[in-house]
Amino acid sequence: MAIAEKLMQRHTKPSRASRVGACTALTLSLLMSGMSVAQAKIDDTAVYQPVAPTIDQARANILIARQLQFTHFRNLGISDELSGDVFDAYLKYLDGQRIYLSQQDIDLLAKAKSRLGSALKTGQLQPGFEIYNLVQQRIIERLQFALNVIDNGLDELDFNTDERIRVDRSKADWEPDQEALDALWIKRIKNAVLAQRLNGTEDDTIKDNLRRRYEGQLKRAYQARSEDAFQAYMNAFAGMWDPHTSYFSPRTSENFNINMSLSLEGIGAVLQSDNEYTKVVRLVPGGPAAKQGQLQTADRIISVAQEGEKPVNVIGWRLDEVVDLIRGPRNSTVTLEVIPANAANESVTRTIAISRDEVKLEEQSASKDIIELDRSGETYRVGVITIPTFYADFQAMQAGDPNYKSTTRDVRRLLDDLKEQGVDGVVMDLRNNGGGALHEANDLVGLFIDKGPTVQIRNANNDVQILNDEDPSVAYDGPLVVLVNRMSASASEIFAGAIQDYGRGLVVGSQTFGKGTVQAVRPLNHGQLKITQSKFYRVSGGSTQHKGVIPDIEIPSRVDTSRIGEDALDHALPWDQIEAVPHTRYYDFSGVIDELRKRHEARFSASPEFSLLEQEIEFLTKQREMTYVSLNMDERKAHHEQIERTRLTIANARRELRGEEPFKTLDELEQWQDEQAADLDSTDEELDFVIREGGHIMADLLELDQRTASILKPAQFAAKADAR
């Protein structure tokens, strides 16, 4: 019992956590003796009441274990090795930044590591709940300690030392003991104070902000529910099979069903928990956040404010509570304070006001534009079709409405319009398209090919289903370029992969997301299980899973591929290959691809827009590679000012290209960005240079090879190609 007694005597002066510490020591002694925390008598003075599993949860656990073992695509048994992985994943979920538990705690919990698997098979949830209760008590201790530090006054903190703090602690060693955790938390508080001071916040306001942050987190730790522990534990367990397999509690199931029906009035963003933060996973095309334009994928939300009210700090909140706070009546405004995805540290934040609304199908619709390219006296007219998502109005379809909306129907109409306007080629823009209706991806491929297979789907029994385009008609047989990026996923990858395999067009951009799996939601006695049941394969046999689609011609991206993409997720299913299915090869680009890449690189080397993109990528990469930040006020201020100067320099260089006046300060830049975002009807006259480059690649294709012109160009354009 010496360790438990030592852990009870962490502070030399009275602490807010003294009663909680006693309860924690009791918990540790119970864990060491093998006795159940939930069944033990807890000190009546303790604030935190340990949560215990229910019979319904135990039954749901048994059902989940069976479904994972026998119906998931991945053949994975519940073994001792898996038990250890579940233990690690569970701790990562509960204390991902390793700021609450010490190595002493980990050593005490270690004996549970080998027995979680066998317990999960039979619905014995107690080991997982004991771990959860200990972590909650440690969270309370840490927050109480932080409040004590703040009570002592911010002027007691020394910002003239050479101290540093690690930015990401997810792979750091556990701190050895509580004393070391105290030192770490003082650094964390100093870092939070510095971040706000650099943003011009006064110390009294900083103190108030931090107090509200920690008290809010403390309140939620006290209010821990059995369902919180069960959902966290089941997700750590289910995540061993793949990152898209997860458990939905009854309340989470309700939110999931609302989101799937698109009836939710909110901001149109998909969120997930990321340690203490709520992170933006993706924006719903046509939704309020996407139209507003400032919120980005991988941004972390730190506060939420309703109209006319003070911001509520949501660091440490449960995901469902953050969602409830963001959700609200149509036409009302919610203001989010976020740490941008490309921020060097927590001192860089921005405030984004978004008007809530319902996501409307028509605002996700495909759209077209025409650009003209002047090349050595020749003018090329290029049609551009942007597809935000693969959609279909299922209700109208089932009701027999002959004019129901869908991606394929809309794109067919747009292609007809472009052909009538005499375009020389078409660029299909699928960047940031996260997927959608599978049959729409199949039908869309059919607009560009004769009859043939479009995608293969293999289930856990190795049965392969082949989806085909049965319609021999072709809506467009001219030159085609497909633009993709890291956020192009699922149905987008099926379309791009099929176009590439058929040799029907060139894929240009950056490696796609790599989401090549299919999930089904299955009801349980308590909640739902979303489980991966099959996998997509291209007609050439390669999976779109993990690897995604590799473009024929690559364009660098600002997206951090180490954080976004299937290959950045734990336990993602691997890439593999099955037999190809017979399909037509319309054109072999191998004879021209080297020259196409050479011309593309020459254009980009001379392009000021690309030069700016490279500068921005280099700047963002350096920020992401920073593993520590200084806690010295002067050093931190100098670094902060350097970041601001770089942002302003890049923004003004871009304005110079447009012939616009430069911004004098970063505040002026941010005010302009806010005004642009608030004006949803404003348009940027400058064409996206990546789209323009797609048009140039199409023109290169026409110029390089007459075979390309005769095979890929419609008959009505052949005369123009021959004249060249």
Last residue of a domain, one of 358, 385, 409: 358
How far CA 70 is from CA of 24, 215, 419, in Å, comes to: 39, 45, 51
Is residue 540 a contact partner of residue 73, using CB atoms and an 8 Å limit?
no
* Residue of 406, 339, 421 lying closest to 372 (CA atoms): 421
Query: What gap in Å lies between CA 645 and CA 639, rounded to an integer?
Result: 10
Using one digit for the tens of pLDDT, what is the confidence trace for 354-379? Answer: 988 876 655 678 999 999 999 888 89
Give the pLDDT confidence score for residue 341 in this predicted structure: 81
* Residue of 538, 578, 544 lying closest to 453 (CA atoms): 538
- Count CA within 13 A, CB hemisphere, residue 187: 19
Q: How far is CA 642 from the centre of its chain?
A: 28
CATH code of the domain in which 498 resides: 3.90.226.10
Give the pLDDT confidence score for residue 255 in this predicted structure: 53
User: What's 249-277 look like in SS3?
Assistant: CHHHHHHHHHHHCCCCEECCEEEEEECCE
Residue 673 lies in a domain: no
Is residue 285 a contact partner of residue 433, using CB atoms and an 8 Å limit?
yes
How far CA 639 is from CA of 201, 348, 615, 636, 665, in Å, comes to: 18, 11, 18, 5, 17
Query: What gap in Å lies between CA 522 and CA 250, rounded to an integer?
Result: 12
Highest mean pLDDT among 26-40, 283-297, 518-532: 518-532
Tell whether 349 and 369 lie within a shared domain. no
* Residue of 551, 508, 512, 501 lying closest to 689 (CA atoms): 508
Active-site residue set? 490, 501, 515
**Residue range 693-719: mean pLDDT, rounded:** 65
- Count CA within 13 A, CB hemisphere, residue 290: 20
Is residue 342 a contact partner of residue 623, using CB atoms and an 8 Å limit?
yes
* Residue of 164, 613, 674, 244 lying closest to 435 (CA atoms): 244
Query: What gap in Å lies between CA 389 and CA 434, rounded to an integer?
Result: 6
**Residue range 589-609: mean pLDDT, rounded:** 92
Amino acid 268 reads G
Provide the domain count of the chain.
3
Give the pLDDT confidence score for residue 45 in this predicted structure: 45
Q: Which residues contact 392 (CB under 8 A, 6 or more apart)?
A: 404, 405, 406, 407, 437, 439, 440
Residue 94 lies in a domain: yes
Tell whether 348 and 489 lie within a shared domain. no
Amino acid 618 reads E
Answer yes or no: is pLDDT of 65 > 70. yes
Using one digit for the tens of pLDDT, what is the confidence trace for 203-255? Answer: 999 999 999 889 988 988 998 999 999 999 999 999 999 999 999 888 766 55
Tell whether 217 and 323 lie within a shared domain. no
Q: State the residue range of the domain holding 397.
A: 361-587
Tell whether 294 and 192 lie within a shared domain. no
Tell whether 370 and 512 lie within a shared domain. yes
Q: Which residues contact 384 (CB under 8 A, 6 or more apart)?
A: 368, 369, 370, 371, 426, 427, 429, 691, 694, 695
Strand order across the beta sheet in which 378-386 lies: 367-375, 378-386, 425-429, 480-484, 506-509, 553-554
Tell whether 195 and 67 lie within a shared domain. yes
Give the pLDDT confidence score for residue 542 in this predicted structure: 97
Query: What gap in Å lies between CA 387 and CA 482, rounded to an integer?
Result: 11
Last residue of a domain, one of 587, 613, 632: 587
Helix (H) or strand (E) holding 384: strand 378-386
Residue 433 lies in a domain: yes
Answer yes or no: is pLDDT of 456 > 60. yes
Amino acid 40 reads A
Give the pLDDT confidence score for residue 15 in this predicted structure: 42
Tell whether 332 and 229 lie within a shared domain. no
User: What's 474-494 look like in SS3?
Assistant: CCCCCCEEEEECCCCCCHHHH
Give the pLDDT confidence score for residue 287 in this predicted structure: 82
Tell whether 379 and 285 lie within a shared domain. no
CATH code of the domain in which 296 resides: 2.30.42.10
Q: How far is it between the farthest Cα atoms of the chain?
A: 92
Is residue 421 a contact partner of residue 370, using CB atoms and an 8 Å limit?
yes
Tell whether 406 and 315 lie within a shared domain. no
* Residue of 629, 576, 535, 724 lying closest to 188 (CA atoms): 629
Give the pLDDT confidence score for residue 705 in this predicted structure: 64
Q: Identify the burial level of 382 via C-beta atoms within 10 angstroms of its C-beta, where 0-12 means exposed, 13-18 middle and 19 or more buried.
A: buried
Residue 713 lies in a domain: no
Residues facing residue 466 across a β-bridge: 456
Give the pLDDT confidence score for residue 7 in this predicted structure: 34
Helix (H) or strand (E) holding 374: strand 367-375
Answer yes or no: is pLDDT of 651 > 90. no
Answer yes or no: is pLDDT of 288 > 50. yes
Tell whether 100 and 202 lie within a shared domain. yes
Residue 553 lies in a domain: yes
Query: Which two tokens mark 312?
Result: 């509520």
Helix (H) or strand (E) holding 590: none
* Residue of 56, 80, 63, 51 lying closest to 240 (CA atoms): 80
- Mean pLDDT for the chain overall: 85
Give the pLDDT confidence score for residue 671 in this predicted structure: 78
Using one digit for the tens of pLDDT, what is the confidence trace for 176-204? Answer: 999 999 999 999 999 999 988 988 899 99
Query: Which two tokens mark 213?
Result: 């942050």
Tell whether 509 and 420 lie within a shared domain. yes
Residue 122 lies in a domain: yes
Query: 3-class DSSP state for residue 561?
Result: coil
Give the pLDDT confidence score for residue 2 in this predicted structure: 33
Residue 639 lies in a domain: no
Instruction: Give the Cβ contact number of residue 684 at 10 Å.
Output: 8
Residue 402 lies in a domain: yes
* Residue of 97, 37, 49, 55 lying closest to 224 (CA atoms): 49
Highest mean pLDDT among 321-330, 547-556, 640-649, 707-716: 547-556
Is residue 527 a contact partner of residue 252, using CB atoms and an 8 Å limit?
yes
**Would the pTM count as exceeding 0.85?**
no
DSSP 94: H
* Residue of 111, 93, 188 lying closest to 142 (CA atoms): 188
User: What's 427-461 look like in SS3?
Assistant: EEECCCCCCECHHHHHHHHHCCCCCEEEEEEEECC
* Residue of 389, 395, 435, 380 lying closest to 411 (CA atoms): 389
Tell whether 440 and 577 lie within a shared domain. yes
Query: What gap in Å lies between CA 159 and CA 243, rounded to an integer?
Result: 41
- pLDDT interval class at 27 (50, 70, 90): very low
Last residue of a domain, one of 337, 358, 379: 358
